[in-house]
Amino acid sequence: MSTDYDSELRLYNEILRRACGVQPRDHVLDIGCGTGQTTRDAARTARAGSAHGIDISAVAVERACELARAEGLNNVTFEHADARFHRFTQGHFDLAISRFGTMFFDEPVAAFANIRRALRRSGRLVMMVWQAREHNEWEVATHQAITGPEASMAVPSAGPDPFSLADPVTVKRILTEAGFVGITLTDVREPISYGPDVDRALDWVCGFTSTTEALKGLDPAAATRALERLREALSTHMSGDGVWFDSRAWCVTARQREEP
């Protein structure tokens, strides 16, 4: 069994699916769709509707198209696009969804306003976003392993921040300014999988941009020690069915205003 984002986040999928409540005739927009698992799930439910996934990774979109063709889904499409700038057909979608794909907008208010305009009146937004890093064991453990046990959890502001939507006040402000109403955040706590064994978990974590950049900043001896600490941290989370870490997220829901 290989490790990828779909396998890592698999316990969140059912929670997202229930929260979305896709209907047979819905037209669904999936933001930051990656290789399209959540988009294809939506398409299977929206049998008389459609699902459209967008992602800024051309490689991920190409793979999503391949998987949809292999599964024989004819009501799903994918596009290499940025939700901040993409010219969606206004008022077309019943539902916009995202599984941890909305935390990296440079201008979040503008991006969510663009998404909102793509929704019909009273159309819904449902997304999963990470809670604060200190509430996510995977972040705490890997960060401390790489930087050393006495390092603080302070993280440089440069680069993508997966925790940019961790604060409920911030989320409500952004979505309100973007024109959404009826905003709610529901606490979700599920473990995430880093792989079936320590070797593959280590390969997976070392593929993270944050890990790569942190290791680049160390001299060779320090990098070797950091990898040893990381392997040990992963080993302590090994169970009978793989390497698992605790995690916490928000399931955020909102809706488009009914008036123009």
pLDDT tens, residue by residue, 198-209: 999 999 999 888
Q: At 69, is the secondary structure helix, strand, or coil?
A: helix
Tokens of 81: 């696009």
Residues 96-114 have pLDDT tens digits of 999 999 999 999 999 999 9
Give phi and psi for 230, each to the nearest 5: -65, -45
**Phi, psi (deg, nearest 5) at residue 246:** -70, 150
pLDDT tier, 257 (very low <50, low <70, confident <90, very high otherwise): confident
**May I ask the CATH class of domain 5-256?**
alpha beta
User: Residue 67 above 70 pLDDT?
Assistant: yes
Stated length of the chain: 260
Q: How far apart are CA 151 and CA 165, in angstroms?
A: 24
> What is the rounded distance in angstroms from the CA atom of residue 30 to the CA atom of residue 74?
16
Kindly report whether the global pTM for this prediction surpasses the value 0.85: yes
- Does residue 195 have a pLDDT over 80? yes
Checking DSSP bridges between strand 238-239 and strand 192-195, what pairing results, if any?
unpaired
Q: Is the pLDDT of residue 260 over 60?
A: no
What pLDDT does 194 receive?
95
Reported confidence tier of residue 259, pLDDT bands at 50, 70, 90: low
AA identity, residue 37: Q
- Give 244's strand partners: 193
Convert the pLDDT of each residue in 117-173 to its tens digit.
999 999 999 999 999 999 999 999 988 898 875 455 555 444 578 999 999 999 999
* Portion of the chain with pLDDT greater than 90, in percent: 81
Question: Tell me, what's the pLDDT at 2?
Answer: 56
Looking at residue 109, its pLDDT comes to 97
First to last CA, the chain: 49
Q: Find out whether 118 and 249 touch, Cβ atoms under 8 Å.
A: no
Q: Is a pLDDT exceeding 80 seen at residue 52?
A: yes
Residues of the chain above pLDDT 70, percent:
93
pLDDT of residue 148: 77
Confirm if 201 and 244 have CB atoms less than 8 A apart. Answer: no
